A and B are shown apart, each in its own frame.
Chain A
């Protein structure tokens, strides 16, 4: 267990719902769930969820902290917002799912090799380099995330898409070499650093 995870678990003892309410984005809406399941039913990726949203909410109430945070269910959310639109009780399901994923990541309990999490990390790292996304490198890094052999296969499979993007000017092969950054990358890095500090402080505070 990471220090933060230990600290948070200790602080909220048996009450995971309170923990979620305190630290997870829109977590305070979880308590309004009445187990109708319309979220699970309206989710276009529903069948890929080991625990659909309403079940996660019940697990939160039941104090199944580890099971929830180590689940890969909330990583299945693609932000289509169908669930939020349909929820009769205004539970901000999409946000809560991302909030839980982020919290799990923060606590260091995400299952090993969870692909959505990996892609998110690659996206983030790519973005952070120059303040903008380098599509070519992002694409390649995703293709090659599971090793060289898979990377070649993935790249070949998506060759046409890549060519079309280049033709349309949406991606340049030159980006592979250097890639341009935003004008004031240094300033951007400062902003991010500050944001990171604020966020870290929030968790430090929450853990106390």
Chain B
């Protein structure tokens, strides 16, 4: 049974992505007791699936390493993975959280040696690579990624009850595989709650004219990020999923689902910068032969990121076309997507063939007001408003708006203070 020591001076952080981790660490490093609840088997969230950050083109795992070391070293922080908050009762200064913990089938004895992975045979699409999952498989016993924290394997529930599961158990020399592990439900107290459940990429299938579901060579920006990563499904090669050939002429379609009343009403803020960054991947892979075309409505680089935009604009291999692409058809002969639309700067109709299309899909908030455990104020777009009515629940990062990493970390640090204010008030009343 998982035990959590918590009081109404404890801060509960829901979601262990960059925002949740930042909020949790800042509070814990200020001496507060923090419990962080993360749905996935590891912390770090979606930034673990990014290859590089804009505008420095540095690696997210670099900051992740620091944050994970901070987490490992800090005695004030308890992390629960594969866990979800199913209920929250009470008010600021006195909440009771109910948390459901799914069985990992691997206990804390796990050393991360990988013997179980070698022993099992069943393979699954690797969800870490989003829709490119089919290009790379993972075993039924797996470590989600090489820097996963906790560094502890996971056994896919699908192999429980099969011979594979027994193989995993037999292979483990340290008794870490526990096939009888059951789902648990635990309750504990918290004085304040930081809600940092982040975002999900907008479902590209809903943008029917782009044919994401029909054309192999139409992928999303989060998938392209995996593709560029040397640890990813194509070992870092920029290729066409249809035939594995080099993708040297890449189209980026901005606002794929954003700024659109038929999809997401809001501007997702990060996609322009993400695309500007991803043109670098094309350039790095193919030099002057790598061509990128960005189809956009407005380029929103914003404040200091504009410098990065200016740099990309100077690159003769990158073309900017002001246009929301109308539709994509596939050239049957070579599976190349052909983009149809109108460049609205001066009215030029185009039918452009590219090797690969990257849809810059937007951020959909992972906040479901309908099933939210307490009453909160959510705006039309689904983000949590900074409303006093929310009591001791504070949104951090992309639960509050579409934010880039810098702004998410900034906002999460502020959210940590608001939680600290609540628990300090509790402490004051009690002490």
Residue positions of A touching B, CB distance < 8 A? 34-38, 40-42, 46-47, 51-52, 54-55, 85-86, 88-90
Contact = CB atoms under 8 A, between A and B. Distances in A.
Nearest to B325: A41
Interface in B331-345: 340-344
B344 A42 contact: no
A21 B259 CA distance: 23
Contacts of B209: 42, 86
Decide if the interface of chain B is mainly helix, strand, loop or mixed.
loop
A37 B344 contact: yes
Contacts of B341: 37-38, 40-41
Interface of B: 209, 255, 259-263, 297-298, 322-327, 340-344, 347, 349
Contacts of A36: 255, 297, 323-324, 344
Given A51-B347, A55-B347, A86-B326, A46 B342 contact: yes
Contacts of B340: 41
B420 to A, nearest CB: 41
A52 to B, nearest CB: 6
A41 B262 CA distance: 17
The 7 A-B pairs at the shortest CB distance, nearest first, are namely A41-B326, A41-B341, A36-B324, A88-B260, A40-B342, A37-B344, A38-B324
Given A37-B326, A55-B344, A89-B261, 14 more contacts: A34-B259, A36-B255, A36-B297, A37-B322, A37-B343, A38-B326, A40-B341, A40-B349, A41-B326, A41-B340, A41-B349, A46-B342, A55-B347, A88-B262
A46 B349 contact: yes
A136 B179 CA distance: 80
Nearest to B264: A88
A23 B323 CA distance: 29
Contacts of B260: 88
Contacts, number: 64
Contacts of A85: 262
A157 B344 CA distance: 39
A146 to B, nearest CB: 29
A37 B342 contact: yes
B182 to A, nearest CB: 48
B325 to A, nearest CB: 7
- Residue of A34, A36, A42 with highest tally of chain B CB at under 10 A: A36
Nearest to A88: B260
Q: Identify which of A46, A54, A88 gathers the most chain B CB atoms within 10 Å of its CB.
A: A88
A41 B347 contact: no
Contacts of A47: 349
A36 B259 CA distance: 11
A86 B206 CA distance: 12
Nearest to A58: B344
A52 B349 CA distance: 10
B177 to A, nearest CB: 51
A41 B340 CA distance: 6
B297 A35 contact: yes
A18 B371 CA distance: 45
B380 to A, nearest CB: 14
Given A37-B344, A55-B344, A88-B261, A42 B327 contact: yes
Interface-centre pick from A37, A40, A89 (highest chain B CB count, 10 A): A37
B297 A52 contact: no
Contacts of A54: 342, 344
A35 B347 CA distance: 11
B53 to A, nearest CB: 28
A57 B315 CA distance: 32
Contacts of A40: 326, 341-342, 344, 347, 349
B349 A90 contact: no
21 contacts: A34-B259, A34-B297, A35-B322, A36-B324, A36-B344, A37-B322, A37-B324, A37-B341, A38-B341, A40-B326, A40-B342, A40-B349, A41-B326, A41-B327, A41-B342, A42-B327, A46-B349, A47-B349, A85-B262, A86-B326, A88-B263
Contacts of B261: 88-90
A82 to B, nearest CB: 9
Nearest to A36: B324
A36 B260 CA distance: 11
B348 to A, nearest CB: 10
Contacts of A90: 261
A41 B323 contact: yes
A88 B342 CA distance: 15
Contacts of A52: 342, 347
Give the one of A35, A41, A54, A85 with max B CB within 10 A. A41
A116 to B, nearest CB: 21
Contacts of A89: 261
Contacts of A86: 209, 262, 326
Contacts of A37: 322-324, 326, 341-344
Nearest to B259: A88
Contacts of A34: 259, 297-298
Nearest to A51: B347
Nearest to B344: A37
A46 B324 CA distance: 15
A183 B344 CA distance: 51
Contacts of A88: 255, 259-263, 324
A35 B344 contact: yes
Contacts of B347: 40, 51-52, 55
A89 B324 CA distance: 12
A41 B348 CA distance: 10
A35 B341 CA distance: 12
Contacts of B259: 34, 88
Nearest to B258: A88
A80 to B, nearest CB: 13
Nearest to A82: B326
Contacts of A46: 342, 349
